[in-house]
Structure 1
Amino acid sequence: MNGSVAGVPIPGSAMARAAAEFAITAAPQILYRHSMRVFLFAALIGQRRELAYDLELLYVTALFHDIGLTEPYRNSQRRFEVDGADAVHSFLSGYGALGDDIAEAWRAIALHTTFGIQAGMPPLTALIAAGVETDLLGLHFDEVDRTTRDSVLSAFPRGTGFKGLIIEALAQGMKHRPATTFGTVNADVLDRCDPDYRRKNFCGLILGSAWDD
């Protein structure tokens, strides 16, 4: 995709085009459009906060942030965030990205479901989290006004029933690895979607540990 959406330029370098082609091919439309909205909301929030960030790196990271939920990872037993983080690491390394940029993209994806800690981190990690929070939780509407949000949705629609469908898409990517949801909001997804799911309990793990006290 060329041009801009809501005043945000869509990166058009060879690396950006390759990332977009990969995401379009690998991810179902609901995840691809979500990823594009995450990028746009993140960029808009970054502009409003006057943060220094690399637009192309933000774009690639947003496109990869949910890749770990897709079909190639349906046998993985790792957290889907880590699968996505490793995927972006390999992709950026193949394009000769700087080590610090690769590390920050990895961290942004690995932490994007661990809400509450990203705001104090470097801009890329903070903005990916803010983009996710905006698209999924309806946060940051004070930083992205209604007209701007409508422009984003016109380019990348949520579609009818998005709220329920995105929960189902998340569940599909995690139902084969329920243990990986411990300690994150992902446990809520399987608790809702999988009748056989049983949460791990942190207190129970402490009380049942091998210590004799």
Structure 2
Amino acid sequence: MRIADIPVPETVAARGALTLAREYHSPALTAHALRSWLWAEAFARVDGITGVDHELLYVSAVLHDIGTVTEFDNHTISYEHAGGHVGVALTAGAGWAFERRQRVLDVIVRHNWPSVDPERDAEGYLLETATALDISGARPDALPEEFVVEVLTAHPRGALAAEFGACVVDQAARKPETAARRLVDGGVVQKLAANPLERL
């Protein structure tokens, strides 16, 4: 498996998502988003997940943390809900039908669930699994090592551990009823630092 085996969707929505990520995210957060997409596509192959909407998965992965940035942070709802609504707005402009726009919201929100049933939501399962690897170090040996090294070389982790850890702690303090509080209570800061991907 190589990065070249995973085509970037050449669509208005996909290009728009990447543009937003690059304009609003830090370099570390953009790299995290792109790694999450690549991990998700790789897990689809490893776990035998079929029928994936690849454009939906790409848009959701690239925008899944955009609700953490100042311009899209919402003081009343979780960062994953805020980011999901950015995805809804973007895909409305790209002409997506209502039901498919709502799927972007679902997938982004579910990336912060403890687990997602792949039978219920293939894209949600893949993004949750991918972000669990990139943030918490879950299933570090599930993907081919050569592919993991290639992805990390193309999209380095940089200051992700410190930056995202501080971000989630801030979200949890301001919005203690959201998933950010559960992540912090579950040791996400420590998991970020101990993630084996940090040592590759």
Shared fold per TM-score greater than 0.5: yes
Which residue in the other structure is 1:188 paired with? 185
Structure 1 residue 119: Cα displacement: 4.4
Paired residue for 2:193?
A: none
* Structure-1-length-normalised TM-score: 0.77
Would the alpha carbon gap of residues 183 and 141 (structure 1) be closer, same or farther in structure 2, given more than 3 Å must change? closer
2:175 to 175, 178, 190: 178
Counterparts of 1:22 and 1:41, CA distance in 2: 21
Partners of 2:57 and 2:84 lie apart in 1 by 13
Secondary structure at 2:140's aligned position in 1?
A: coil
Q: For residues 117-196 of structure 1, what are the structure 2 equivalents within 5 Å? A: 117-159=116-158, 162-172=160-170, 174=171, 177-181=174-178, 185-188=182-185
How much has 1:75 moved relative to structure 2? 5.2
Match of 1:37 in 2: 35
Q: Secondary structure at the residue paired with 2:71?
A: helix
Which residue does 2:51 correspond to in 1? 52
Alignment partners' CA distance in 2, 1:47 and 1:99: 29
1:13/1:191 CA distance change after superposition, 3 Å: closer
Contact 2:9 2:58 (C-alpha < 8 Å) held by counterparts = yes
| Distance in 1 of aligned mates of 2:42 and 2:188 | 33
1:20 maps to which residue? 18
- For structure 1, list consecutive stretches of 5 or more residues without a partner in the other structure: 193-213
Give 1:99's aligned residue.
98
Distance 1:75 1:16, change over 3 A: closer
Tell me, in whole angstroms, the C-alpha distance in 1 between the residues paired with 2:89 and 2:188.
32
Once superposed, what is the RMSD of the aligned Cα atoms? Answer: 2.7
Distance 2:188 2:32 in 1: 22
Aligned partner of residue 12 in structure 1, secondary structure: coil
Distance 2:121 2:188 in 1: 32
Is the 8 Å Cα contact of residues 113 and 184 (structure 1) preserved in structure 2?
no
Aligned to 2:109: 110
- Indicate if the aligned counterparts of 1:88 and 1:106 stay in contact, CA closer than 8 A: yes
Alignment partners' CA distance in 2, 1:178 and 1:37? 27
Q: Which has the larger radius of gyration?
A: 1
Shift of 1:60: 0.6
- Structure 2 partner of 1:197: none
Which TM-score applies when normalising by structure 2? 0.81
- Identity of matched residues, %: 23
Counterpart-to-counterpart distance in 2, 1:188 and 1:100: 34
Query: Structure 1 residues 118 and 87, CA, compared in 2 at 3 Å: closer, same or farther?
Result: farther
The alpha-carbon deviation at position 33 of structure 1 amounts to: 0.8
Q: Distance in 1 between matches of 2:33 and 2:98?
A: 23
Deviations 1:155-197 (A, max 9, x none): 10112x543332123334x1662333368533438997xxxxx
Q: Which amino acid counterpart does residue 120 of structure 2 have in structure 1?
A: M
Quote the Cα distance in structure 2 between the aligned partners of 1:75 and 1:60: 20
1:36–1:63: 8 Å Cα contact kept in structure 2? yes
Are the aligned partners of 2:6 and 2:38 in contact in 1 as well (CA < 8 Å)?
Answer: yes
- The corresponding residue for 1:11 is 9
Q: Which has the larger share of helix?
A: 2
Contact 1:39 1:62 in 2 (8 A): yes
Tell me how far 1:52 sits from its aligned partner. Answer: 1.5
Q: Structure 1's 134 and 96: CA in aligned 2 closer, same or farther, altered over 3 A?
A: same
C-alpha distance in structure 2 between counterparts of 1:37 and 1:79, whole Å: 22
How far 1:13 sits from its partner (Å)?
Answer: 2.1
How many aligned residue pairs are there?
Answer: 188
